[in-house]
Amino acid sequence: KAGVTQTPRYLIKTRGQQVTLSCSPISGHRSVSWYQQTPGQGLQFLFEYFSETQRNKGNFPGRFSGRQFSNSRSEMNVSTLELGDSALYLCASSSPTGVVSGELFFGEGSRLTVL
Amino acid sequence: DAKTTQPPSMDCAEGRAANLPCNHSTISGNEYVYWYRQIHSQGPQYIIHGLKNNETNEMASLIITEDRKSSTLILPHATLRDTAVYYCIVRQERGGYNKLIFGAGTRLAVHP
């Protein structure tokens, strides 16, 4: 069974640009969550999507957005990039039945560097 | 969700049991204890979770004190591949949200 797939794995952008990251969840999983990991702040929750609807959001500015498609694949977008957005962005999937569970399956992440 | 406290780092000899403590003194009755680990440059990996009874799976055992104010994750025979940051998370099963609040975790170093 394939795991959570994130693309691209590495990318470099400059300040002011925007970036889109993609996440394909485990087949059958309907919930996709996004996390940001930095050395200073650790792992922080960005948002969660379930059945194409955002049902929870962390404390990040509006420059961070996401969406989920009918096949449960998800994308997140960061606009007007800042140096502080350099981080490992992790996607996690769960809930083949929609039941809430803390058992999340994480991808290997997309490492974004903003210059 | 309740706050957790973990030692920042621990060492363990290969083949020995690794016992990772976690304090969650403000835990409430409907909050579960979850453990995840993150091996360098990889995404976090779910290990185990429990409410009040001790739990065991193929990876580890989770011992929760009777008052639920602390727990211990036990890796029975640590290997070099168990070197990772271990996160103890307290989470309510509510609201339809799959949100985890990660702390700083414990950096476990397993040495030969």
Residue pLDDT tens, chain A, 115 long = 679 999 999 999 999 999 999 999 999 888 899 999 999 899 999 999 988 999 889 999 999 999 999 999 999 999 999 999 999 999 999 865 555 567 899 999 999 999 9
- The CA distance from B4 to the nearest CA of chain A, in Å, is 15
Predicted confidence at residue A103, as pLDDT, reads: 85
How many CB contacts within 8 angstroms connect chain A with chain B?
70
Inter-chain CB proximity A43 and B43 less than 8 Å:
no
* Neighbour tally for B13: CB within 10 Å: 11
Alpha carbon distance A41, B44 (integer Å): 16
Q: Point out which residues pair with A109 in neighbouring strands.
A: none
The DSSP string of chain B is: ----B--SEEEEETTS-EEEEEE-TT--TTEEEEEEEE-TTS--EEEEEESSS-EE-SS-EEEE-TTSSEEEEEETT--GGG-EEEEEEEEE--TT---------EEEEEE-
- The CA distance from A91 to the nearest CA of chain B, in Å, is 8
In this predicted structure, the answer to whether residue B64 has a pLDDT above a threshold of 70 is yes
Contact B75, B82 (CB under 8 A): yes
